[in-house]
Amino acid sequence: MGTLGLDLERGLFLGIDFGTTNSVVSIFDFKDGQVQTIPIDGSNIFPTAIQFESDIEDENKLSKIFGVQAKEAAMIYPQSTVLSIKRYLGTEEDINIVVDDKEFSFKPEQIAGEIMGYLKRMADEYVREKLNMAGEFSGCVITVPANSTDKQKKMTKEAAILAGFEEENIYLRLEPAAAAISYAVNERKDKKVLVYDFGGGTFDACILEIKLDENQEPNISILSTYGDNDLGGNDVDKILIDMIYEEFKKLTDGEIDLFDENLDDGVSKRQKKVALVRLAQMANQAKERLSQAKSTKIVLAPFIQEPKIVNINMEITREDFLNHKRVNKLNDSEEIFEKFEGKSVIDMIDKTIACVDKSLENAKLNSDDIDEIFLVGGSSSMPIVSEKIKEKFGKEPFKSKISPALSISQGAAHYCNMIMMPTVKGPTVNEKTIHPIGLEIAGRRFMEIVKAGMDIPKENLVIEAKEPLITNFDNVSSMAIVVYENTSPNEEKIQYVTDEGMKRLAGTSLRGIPQGLKGQEKVKVIFTITQDNMLKVTAKSMSDAGIVTELSVDELY
């Protein structure tokens, strides 16, 4: 039996694109130096879905169904099925399910861990039985959106631990950088590349510079990244849901509200849940069809059967879909609905282009400086995306040999190679700081501590502020430590945290400072940034009775 050419005590590493809608896993095969995607349940693209049901042998236990079967089960058992769990990572919201009239509660990372664990088990089985490789996956590289918060990253890691991966062998890397690797290994030229990543739950615009080294291997540097954590393909789907729901309201004279479970309108809670799942799945299918055709038929017959049978039969054209302005709150929060109310698909794509403009501005580049545009994520396949990109850059997006849905996972597998075999030739990514980061000081001034473009070494980037903070008044016993990111740096003038482009990342208080005269007590501040782009700030009173505080920044880049 062969191996992946690695020390079996360390195990094998799996590249995971854990997506809002779908997930993909890939490996780097050291025998032939190639990356390959592992089919899970016969398909390269695995729906990020789980359904629970009672265990046949023990009614107090739950058994699980994953992937396509779970996604399909959502139409019949919506109360026991969980979709789009990635959008809950980083929140404290419990996931409640009902199985046989019994309610169960899970943390988001537990649900994500169950799904990752299934991916791991299926990948273990595949490499043993199909590829004749020994060992199992003890480590992984999981890709995360470029604008992930610290909480999202921590919960993603916790999910991977629950899935059975060893904590010290779990690495997080940015999705656009992983996608860039997939591009760079096939296009070995010096280029500046825009990665346009429009996934199910998030959008990221990332600009990278690729330079070939003396061995003609790609060396990738991230020049800038800018995105929106609340804009993705799911929001595009909701435009279609909105259109279909408007038709439903006409057919029922607005007397039925499918999104209000407690409203006594003659429709049971269960039938409302089933109807909404069917509505969401129909919208997703219609979006995919409208990427290929100029119109599509929507047939839901029957859609509901109580208090009367309602059938939906309508035609939606691509033009209507792109220009429809959303009017219904659906199941969004007030904050999210306020963002999308009255907005169309065209408006959403324009928003992604605005993120691209911001990324160009942060990289100090013009659209003419970009040599190639690499589309990533399932939503990027909409024709309107290519049209807008061509309008912006005057060129077609790169026609990749790799499906946009697979490129991030395959890039993650290349990252596995970099981590496990650092001396072997291949693409490398220079992890760098994107924007200056610093503290608010007296007069609301910004004191820069971390400069833009600094290399982040494997052992972390550790920087101590050149000057300590001092107390501004007599008998001060606490000091505010507030961290800002400067997305619009200007070296020619003093900058204030109230300036445009200043982004407050986090804040805490250093309490218990020994009281004394103004300026007597000094506080040392140290910034630590990991290759996972997670920031920790340590503030320490410098007196003999000094005290220490630490904070992990909730959002970085």
pLDDT digits (tens, 9 = 90+) for 460-494: 999 999 888 888 888 888 888 888 888 777 777 89
pLDDT of residue 1: 34
Quick check: 63 pLDDT over 50? yes
Give the angle 536-156-179 at the CA atoms, nearest 5°.
Answer: 95
Mean pLDDT along residues 328-346: 93
pLDDT band at 453 (very low <50, low <70, confident <90, very high): confident
Pairing of strands 445-450, 437-441: antiparallel
Quick check: 7 pLDDT over 50? no
pLDDT band at 8 (very low <50, low <70, confident <90, very high): very low
Q: Which residues contact 424 (CB under 8 A, 6 or more apart)?
A: 417
Mean pLDDT along residues 352-379: 92
Strands (E), 305-454: 310-317, 372-376, 428-430, 437-441, 445-450
CA nearest to 227, candidates 257, 248, 206: 206
pLDDT of residue 215: 82
pLDDT of residue 96: 94
Percentage of the residues of the chain whose pLDDT score is greater than 90:
49
| CA atoms of 29 and 105, how far apart (whole Å) | 39
β-bridge mates for residue 424, sequence order: none
Which range, of 258-267, 310-319, 524-533, averages the lowest pLDDT? 524-533
pLDDT digits (tens, 9 = 90+) for 375-432: 988 888 899 999 999 999 999 998 877 777 888 999 999 888 887 777 667 777 887 7
Buried b (16+ CB within 10 A) or exposed e, 365-377: beeeebbbbbbbb
| CA atoms of 275 and 271, how far apart (whole Å) | 6
Quick check: 201 pLDDT over 60? yes
Q: Which residues contact 111 (CB under 8 A, 6 or more apart)?
A: 50, 82, 85, 88, 95
Which range, of 121-135, 162-176, 226-240, 508-522, averages the lowest pLDDT? 508-522
> The CATH number of 1-186+400-430 is which of 3.30.420.40, 3.40.640.10, 3.40.50.300, 1.10.1740.10?
3.30.420.40
Q: Locate tokens 């309610």: which residue?
A: 103
CATH superfamily of 437-552: Substrate Binding Domain Of DNAk; Chain A, domain 1 (2.60.34.10)
Quick check: 332 pLDDT over 50? yes
pLDDT band at 546 (very low <50, low <70, confident <90, very high): low
| CA atoms of 557 and 534, how far apart (whole Å) | 9
| pTM attached to this predicted model | 0.81
**What are the structure tokens assigned to 436, written together?**
């200056």
Half-sphere exposure of 140 (CA within 13 A, CB side): 34
pLDDT digits (tens, 9 = 90+) for 214-253: 888 888 888 888 888 789 998 999 999 999 999 999 999 9
Pairing of strands 478-486, 170-174: unpaired
Highest-pLDDT range among 263-277, 341-355, 390-404, 479-493: 341-355
CATH number listed for the domain at residues 233-342: 3.90.640.10
pLDDT band at 519 (very low <50, low <70, confident <90, very high): confident
Instruction: Work out the mean pLDDT of the chain and round it to a whole number.
Output: 87
pLDDT of residue 117: 97
pLDDT of residue 5: 45
Task: Assess whether the region 1-186+400-430 and the region 233-342 belong to the same CATH fold.
Answer: no
- What are the residue ranges spanned by the domains of the chain? 1-186+400-430, 233-342, 437-552
| CA atoms of 311 and 189, how far apart (whole Å) | 55
pLDDT digits (tens, 9 = 90+) for 89-122: 988 899 999 998 889 999 999 999 999 999 999 9
| CA atoms of 288 and 22, how far apart (whole Å) | 14
CA nearest to 141, candidates 110, 114, 177, 111: 177
